[in-house]
Amino acid sequence: MSKEDIKDLKYFIDLQPKKEDFREAVLRGLSLPQKSISPKFFYDERGSRIFDKICNTPEYYVTRTEIALLNEIWQEIHSLVEAGSTVVEYGCGSSIKIKALLAALPEPSQYIAIDISRSHLISTANEIALNYTNISVGAICADFMEPIDWPEKAYAESLKRLAFFPGSTIGNQTPNEAAGFLDNVRHLVGDEGAFLVGVDLKKDFEILNRAYNDAEGCTADFNLNLLYRIKNELDADIEISGFSHKAFYNEELGRVEMHLVSGSQQVISIDGAEFSFEKGESIHTESSHKYSKSDFIQLAEQSGFGVLKDWRDDNNLFSIYLMKAI
């Protein structure tokens, strides 16, 4: 990355996890009785591109439903959010949603993009900086699941802060992790702040199972990309074709689970450490929790947020909450 890449940004702060962090997480996760790796490691450059493709598949209702719902409620959001706010987007991804939000808000003063994928982050932040020249734009490359040491310049712009977390990514966290994340957001926005968040709803199992097993195979590619990262970045001895994608709704835990399933008895090697797999044994790579309204409101209130307004689409697939600090 050169200075030219970020010349349009007010600041860029690089807190991207180091390769050693990835290695340690993989070695630790594969040593567990139920092997698992955090879904945050999906999002290298290739993984981010594949996820953008998932969002356009006919089975994956989340993105199109959320965008349609946002387009219906922009005027209400405009009337409920104070002018001059600093907008902080967690997991910036595609710029479609944030462009619409910035256009709807009353004179936002600053936009701060946060994402773990450096290339994706810089691309989105630069696009916003070029299209919204009246807004100060900064970018932080970081794992937003962890507490972030915020720069003073980000705080100095405005005491009125609106955190934005679309896409129901909060569902990728366990309820305990989500509670910790909400605590961090509450600390960031302060007593004058607000939080706009997309939350996927509990629904018919078949809709969920189709959404995570698209016919084109994009979700499978996304899941398997984690093995490509391990092979390429950690110099692992692993046969990627020896694993397959599996996703299903776990009714008891209220979540969709994604796994990488071993097709045979095999051993993989990473940095001198060997891990044995039985046929059918899996690596748990992601959980996507689905919430009822009462469950999510209870979770938010525990972290010091009160629901100012909530919306859902006509088919009860997806919900959006605007929450104020209390």
> How many whole angstroms separate alpha carbon 138 and alpha carbon 125?
7
Instruction: List the one residue out of 145, 134, 70, 138 whose CA is nearest residue 108.
Output: 134
Structure tokens at 160: 């009125």
**Sign of the CA dihedral with 147 first, then 153, 154, and 160 last:** positive
Instruction: List the one residue out of 48, 6, 93, 42 whose CA is nearest residue 227.
Output: 42
Q: List the chain domain ranges.
A: 3-13+57-203+291-325
Contact 258, 212 (CB under 8 A): yes
Give the residue ranges of DSSP H helices in 190-263.
Answer: 205-211, 218-233
Residue 91 backbone zone (phi > 0: left; psi -120 to 50: alpha; other: beta): left
Task: Count Cβ atoms within 10 A of the Cβ of residue 25 and give its class: 0-12 exposed, 13-18 middle, 19 or more buried.
Answer: middle
> How many whole angstroms separate alpha carbon 287 and alpha carbon 249?
9
pLDDT recorded at residue 227: 98
pLDDT recorded at residue 154: 60
- Cα distances (Å, whole numbers) of residue 163 to 91, 187, 189, 208: 11, 11, 7, 27
Residue 115's identity, in one-letter code, is D
Structure tokens at 52: 């953008």
pLDDT recorded at residue 160: 86
**pTM, two decimal places:** 0.90
pLDDT recorded at residue 120: 83
Structure tokens at 224: 């398997």
Bridge partner residues of 110 (DSSP): 86, 136
Per-residue pLDDT of the chain (326 residues; tens, 9 = 90+): 445 467 788 888 888 777 668 999 999 999 999 999 999 899 888 998 999 999 999 999 999 999 999 999 999 999 999 899 999 999 886 688 898 899 889 999 999 999 888 888 998 999 999 999 999 999 998 888 877 777 666 655 556 899 999 989 999 999 999 999 999 999 888 898 999 999 999 999 999 999 999 999 999 999 999 999 999 999 899 999 999 999 999 999 999 999 999 999 999 999 899 999 999 999 999 999 999 999 999 999 999 999 999 999 999 999 999 999 98
Question: For the domain 3-13+57-203+291-325, what is the CATH code?
Answer: 3.40.50.150
DSSP structural state of residue 7:
T
Q: What angle do CA 46, 23, 175 make, to 5 degrees?
A: 80
Sequence length of the chain is 326
